[in-house]
Amino acid sequence: MTSAPKSATRSEAGFVLIAVLWILAALATLASIYSSYTVNTAAASHVADDRVQAEASIRAGVEMAVFRQLALPEKARPARGGFDMRVGPTGVAVRFRSEAARIDLNAAPADLLRRAPAGSPLAALPPGYRPVQTHTFPGVESLSVYEFALR
């Protein structure tokens, strides 16, 4: 009679071994899923960092350009220019051009338009051409877009 209980114990011991192996496999699967999740979360968090760094770089570039312009007397300020700087790990190349360097086609004298460089869009305009944009608005006489915007 003593031999029967020994054989039952041996079969139960094998069952426990299989159960332990299944539990280890499940834990290994959970660990790999968790590691994949943490890697993806870490990579996704850098997107927000890049956006914040880009915004800070843009803001710093604009503020430095304004600071450099305001540091000079008004007569000595350049109409255009640029400089390079670093904001943290980011290199920023700033280029600026004053609005005073632009030509208003509607108000510019004809001789100024005739002296335009050969490759510019102004040189392609026929002589005497003035682009006039007029629109009619209900209850308002015909005005140019610019005059209407200023009212």
pTM for the whole structure: 0.45
pLDDT digits (tens, 9 = 90+) for 108-121: 776 776 677 766 76
Dig out the tokens for 82 from the structure: 């640029």
Q: What is the domain partition of the chain in residue ranges?
A: 3-101, 110-150
pLDDT at 17: 82
List C-alpha distances in Å: 88 to 43, 52, 57, 119. Answer: 20, 12, 9, 40
| Most confidently modeled range among 32-36, 48-52, 120-124 | 32-36
Lowest mean pLDDT among 29-43, 59-73, 127-141: 127-141
Predicted confidence (pLDDT) at residue 78 exceeds the cutoff of 70: yes
Lowest mean pLDDT among 13-17, 36-40, 59-63: 13-17
